């Protein structure tokens, strides 16, 4: 074989390898609210119940740990996982004697399985990761996890955004300089979008291939209003909404997820009572009337993030469900005021997020939002907010786009 032919063959093979390496964009999984494992270590002097442990020798899994969500024991869980707000520093902290950490930075396992024992009830990104492995991906190499403290909003997650930028760059470099796909779910889509808005366009053009979004509440959700009012049982009959609410209302991320004034009109009634009808302009009065002053402060801290609707500056694949009953308004019977249990007036969405919020990404197609990066939406009938992660239609779509 002549040297010319050998040189041509080397160039041809190199071209094939380069094409293949660029064909598999490495994936970073960014979870939503409740989508990361959390670990706790205790050194408390006081507890809320005699059965609650004051100390622990080491860190233990606190989310998701079903053994801690049983009657009586759940009181300990609530007290350990709640946050305390300081309206001077405008920040939250864990209760005295409680240390919470997020395990497994960079490792996909803590976002594939919320329960470290890998029980099916804690399945999260695992089905998607399995589908990616089938087309050539490798965990901890081209499938990476980016967990964070989902109790908090962007204003208290600055370290996450700094670490995420480094993680993107390292993932890019260790995968033959292939640009990275951010695959996000629910609130993780808001975290990723905020992160992308912080980056120069030149950086995004080099390091980010695309943003694949599942069930992102781009404009917030009425579900957050419902949780502030009565709590949420996470779809489990064994949990009581009122008990869960004690912990849930202390989270700034819940205030961040309230409906955006960009997509809810000031004339729309969100909470209806015989004394007052609360609109999106009445959150301060509503929180005052419910005796949740810290919630209003957290809303003020996070409201600026709901008012920035600039496009993220990358290719977006916006996948969401519809045709599922989703709360649109809380209606209190005459005489019950805000301490009663409201009737939930329902509308369209994915069971958690309203359709107007899920589909808000489609506004980025308009020139007024700038950068002309493609936005592709995939509405899926009956794709529920959480189970969309295991929907075959989603798996087929993701594996298709990731091959190109």
Residue with tokens 């109790």: 151
DSSP string, 113-127: BSSTT--GGGBSSHH
The C-alpha R_g of the chain, in whole angstroms, comes to 23
Burial class of 234 by CB neighbour count within 10 A (0 to 12, 13 to 18, 19+): middle
Measure the CA–CA gap between 191 and 402, rounded to whole angstroms.
Answer: 22
Of 202, 182, 200, the C-alpha closest to 192 is 182
The two three-digit tokens of residue 152, written as one number: 């908090």
Measure the CA–CA gap between 281 and 268, rounded to whole angstroms.
Answer: 10
DSSP 8-class letter at 360: G
Give alpha helix (H) positions in 59-150: 73-81, 109-112, 126-134
Secondary structure of 382-402 in HEC code, one letter for each residue = CCCCCHHHHCHHHHHHHHHHH
Residue with tokens 């700038």: 370
Measure the CA–CA gap between 255 and 170, rounded to whole angstroms.
Answer: 33
Dihedral angle at the C-alpha atoms of 30, 33, 34, 35, nearest 10 degrees? -10
DSSP string, 244-312: HHHHHTT-HHHHHTSPPTTTS-TTS-SEE-SS-EE-GGGHHHHHHHTT-HHHHHHHHHHHHHHH-----
Measure the CA–CA gap between 336 and 276, rounded to whole angstroms.
Answer: 12
Q: Show which residues are catalytic.
A: 186, 350, 385
The two three-digit tokens of residue 292, written as one number: 């949740």
- Number of helical H runs and strand E runs in the chain: 14, 15
């Amino acid at each position: 074989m002549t040297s010319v032919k050998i040189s041509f063959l080397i160039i041809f093979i190199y071209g094939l390898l380069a094409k293949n390496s660029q064909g598999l964009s490495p994936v970073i999984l960014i979870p939503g609210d409740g989508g990361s494992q959390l670990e706790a270590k205790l050194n408390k002097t006081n507890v809320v119940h005699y059965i609650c442990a004051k100390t622990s020798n080491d860190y233990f899994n606190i989310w998701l740990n079903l053994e801690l969500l049983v009657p009586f024991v759940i009181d300990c869980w609530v007290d350990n996982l709640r946050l305390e707000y300081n309206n001077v520093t405008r920040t939250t902290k864990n209760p005295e004697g409680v240390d919470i950490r997020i395990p497994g930075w960079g490792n996909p396992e803590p976002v594939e399985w919320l329960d470290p024992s890998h029980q099916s009830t804690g399945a999260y990104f695992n089905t998607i990761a399995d589908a990616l492995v089938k087309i050539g991906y490798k965990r901890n190499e081209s499938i990476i996890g980016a967990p964070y403290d989902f109790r908090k909003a962007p204003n208290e997650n600055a370290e996450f955004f700094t670490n995420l930028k480094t993680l993107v760059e390292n993932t890019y470099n260790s995968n033959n300089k292939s640009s990275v796909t951010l695959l996000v779910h629910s609130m993780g889509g808001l975290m990723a979008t905020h992160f992308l808005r912080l980056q120069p366009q030149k950086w995004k053009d080099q390091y980010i291939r695309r943003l694949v979004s599942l069930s992102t509440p781009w404009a917030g959700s009425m579900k957050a209003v419902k949780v502030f009012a009565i709590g949420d049982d996470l779809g489990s009959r064994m949990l009581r909404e009122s008990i869960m609410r004690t912990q849930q209302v202390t989270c700034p991320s819940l205030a961040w997820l309230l409906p955006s004034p960009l997509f809810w009109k000031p004339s729309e009634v969100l909470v209806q009572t015989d004394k007052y009808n609360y609109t999106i302009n009445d959150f301060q009065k509503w929180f005052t009337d419910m005796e949740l002053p810290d919630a209003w402060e957290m809303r003020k801290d996070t409201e600026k993030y709901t008012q920035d609707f600039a496009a993220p500056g990358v290719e977006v694949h916006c996948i969401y469900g519809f045709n599922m009953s989703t709360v649109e308004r809380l209606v209190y019977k005459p005489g019950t005021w805000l301490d009663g249990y409201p009737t939930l007036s329902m509308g369209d969405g994915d069971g958690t997020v309203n359709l107007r919020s899920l589909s808000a990404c489609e506004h980025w197609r308009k020139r007024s939002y700038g950068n002309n990066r493609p936005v592709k939406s995939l509405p899926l009938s009956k794709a529920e907010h959480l189970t969309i992660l295991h929907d075959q239609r989603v798996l087929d779509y993701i594996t298709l786009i990731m091959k190109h």
